[in-house]
Structure 1
Amino acid sequence: MNDHEVPAGVRAPRLRQGDRVRIVAPASPPTRDGVARGVKLLTSWGLQVEIGPHVFDRWGYMAGRDEDRAADLNSAFRDPGVRGIFTARGGKGAYRIVDDLDLVAARRDPKPLVGFSDISHVHLALWARAGLASLHGPFANWSDEWTGPASAEALRSALMTTESVVLQQQRGEVTTPVTVDGTATGVLVGGNLDAIRTETGAGLPSLRGTILFLEHQKGTGLGEVDRALTQLTRSRALNGLHGVVLGQFLGFEGAADDPSLGGWGIIDVLRDRLTRLGVPVLGGIPAGHGLHPPTIPLGTIANIDTAAGTLTVGPAVH
């Protein structure tokens, strides 16, 4: 298989009114109020919502013990009546259970799974080891302030219609100036940079022929972004990419004014690490840990056009 023949993931049937869906917590625990809001939203779409038995467990900073979190997710994969899976929260812990997922069951009965951040570990496993498309989208631990009506409609459309998703570059995003001109087509994979870095040498699939989507949360410095991208480069994980899409990299405001950083900011780090790949880079996509997140199919064919400033992604459902 050459770089131009990377297979798109198998798409699950789209959700319909009356379908039964389940909320699970593969990572950190959600709040009861947030999940109640999520249940209300999903129910308003005509879905029948169930909550996994361990969603509100707590074991350290995770939503229950590893075996219980994995069991909830596997039960949702195995139950033929469950037609969609919504993760309750990211945080920490999904990386501990990806090797315990019943990917045979997931492949036998494809159903859309939604989440982001630490759930990027699950997305990568579904695509690399089960050949499935999934959805980088909001958690069921719903917040009207953080998500809002636009996010809700984007999620509903991505799950209940077969329309492509089109995202427009935003000039106000910090990654917009990192854009490298060109067009590219490939299967869109990726998500949270920390998660992708963590999978290096373990569960990270070949990225040849793909478009890599990257976003980053608050709480780490420029050096951590540099280390992550350098690790991916040194491991040759980025060899053969068709393109890169940059979402939100948050928390780096004012970094260029820190004298200890030599005048560098996040734009400098991203340019230094990514422009040498020699592929188109589309920065400024408003997706990640910021307010009002969109829903982005992963594991499906995507196109980036830097002149138009657009990312167009095929649906994750059929």
Structure 2
Amino acid sequence: MESLDHATTDQVLTPPPLRPGDKIRFVSPASPPDRDRVLRHAEILRGWGLRVDFGEHAFHKHHYLAGTDEERLADLDAALRDPEVRAIFTTGGGKGSYRIADRLDFAAVRRDPKFLIGFSDITTLHLSLLRHGRVIGIHGAFFAGPGEEGVSAETVSALHGALMTTEDIVIQSRPEEPTAALTTSGRVTGRLIGGHLETLTAAAGWALPNLSGTILLLEANGRYRGQVDRQMTMLRKARHLDGLAGVAIGQFTDFEFDLRFSVIDILREHLNVLGVPVLGGLPLGHGRSPVSALIGAVAELDAETGTLTIGRGSI
């Protein structure tokens, strides 16, 4: 099968936006979800005029996974193949998407492109769907960050805009995010690829597309600074970061930022040698009020204005 890594006449496709009356399906390709939380999120979607249903195994549990590999894969493939399902919401991340990401029905993905919505461990699915199916996904979720009682209005509005409009997505850097300190200068355009750093690193060599000419998105949570150092070292020394156009840095949460040599210093060391524009402070990830991004879409990173603008065209 041809992939995004190779010359091809096939476009990278942007699935059509949802309309009231469309059906969406929740599936659980990773860890077991919190049923009550998923049902609350389903009510938000019904409020948008969407019809909601659930994969057969959406609330199963198999050790730390939401069902066996075969059950989780069957639910995801069924949603990809069902012409009535117009978008697929993952119930959450955790662990396990990487176990099935190379076995998806990529022919169905290409035949009937539809948005897959999720982040964190779901990064592996976004990368594999882009590399092998050449279809854009949504890095986002109904996620409540640290200290938030529920999903913020900003998070809900951003996901609604990504899923149900054709407008470009403009994401503004937040000065209060620790990664804002990594912002350099310059403006570049490239396809936005990436997501959760640990998951992205696990995808290298089999699900990670060729990153040459792209804008790399990175976010992380709950990692020790040494783990981030290992992951960034692996990506650089294996030459996965060769030829990047730029780097977009999202939220790095649950780190100690007041250390003399913090995760920000570690990231700066690795990013400086790339010699490309870097925009930090983006509200993408596991922090407060995260927004949504289109993984695989062409974006403009402007470090001068602190904005990441993501387009809708299929290129």
TM-score (norm 1): 0.92
**Contact 2:144 2:289 (8 Å CA) reproduced:** no
What is the match of residue 302 of structure 2?
305
Aligned ranges 1:166-315 → 2 under 5 Å: 166-218=170-222, 220-254=223-257, 256=259, 263-315=260-312
The structural deviation recorded for 1:202 is: 2.1
Supply the AA of the counterpart residue of 1:213.
L
When residues 178 and 8 of structure 1 are mapped into structure 2, their CA distance, relative to the original with a 3 A threshold, is farther
Is 1:96 aligned with 2:99? yes
Q: SS of 1:33's equivalent?
A: helix
Q: How many residues align?
A: 308
The structural deviation recorded for 1:7 is: 8.4
Supply the AA of the counterpart residue of 2:141.
P
**Contact 1:133 1:316 (8 Å CA) reproduced:** no
Over the residues paired in the alignment, what is the CA RMSD in angstroms? Answer: 2.2
Q: Alignment identity in percent?
A: 47
Q: SS of 1:175's equivalent?
A: helix
**Contact 1:255 1:266 (8 Å CA) reproduced:** no
When residues 115 and 316 of structure 1 are mapped into structure 2, their CA distance, relative to the original with a 3 A threshold, is farther
Q: Take 1:8 and 1:150, find their aligned partners in 2: how far apart are those partners?
A: 32
Q: Take 2:105 and 2:74, find their aligned partners in 1: how far apart are those partners?
A: 9
Supply the AA of the counterpart residue of 1:86.
F
Supply the AA of the counterpart residue of 1:200.
A
**Contact 2:216 2:246 (8 Å CA) reproduced:** yes
The structural deviation recorded for 1:141 is: 9.9
The counterpart of 1:86, out of the listed 85, 89, 92, is 89
Q: SS of 1:290's equivalent?
A: coil
What is the match of residue 158 of structure 1?
162
Q: Take 2:233 and 2:118, find their aligned partners in 1: how far apart are those partners?
A: 26
Runs of 4+ in 1 over 6 A off after TM superposition: 5-8, 140-144
**Which digits, 9 at most, give the CA deviation of each residue in 1:222-247, with x for residues without a partner?**
11000000000011000010000000
Q: Take 2:312 and 2:46, find their aligned partners in 1: how far apart are those partners?
A: 22
**Which digits, 9 at most, give the CA deviation of each residue in 1:195-240, with x for residues without a partner?**
110011222111011100000011x211100000000001100001
What is the match of residue 17 of structure 1?
20
The structural deviation recorded for 1:139 is: 4.5
**Which digits, 9 at most, give the CA deviation of each residue in 1:11-53, with x for residues without a partner?**
1111000001100010011111111101101011111101111
**Contact 2:172 2:306 (8 Å CA) reproduced:** yes
Consecutive unaligned residues of structure 2, counting only runs of 5 or more, are none
Q: SS of 2:80's equivalent?
A: helix
Supply the AA of the counterpart residue of 1:115.
G
**Contact 2:244 2:276 (8 Å CA) reproduced:** yes
Q: Take 2:154 and 2:257, find their aligned partners in 1: how far apart are those partners?
A: 30
**Contact 1:11 1:316 (8 Å CA) reproduced:** yes
Consecutive unaligned residues of structure 1, counting only runs of 5 or more, are 257-262
Supply the AA of the counterpart residue of 2:174.
Q
The structural deviation recorded for 1:254 is: 4.5
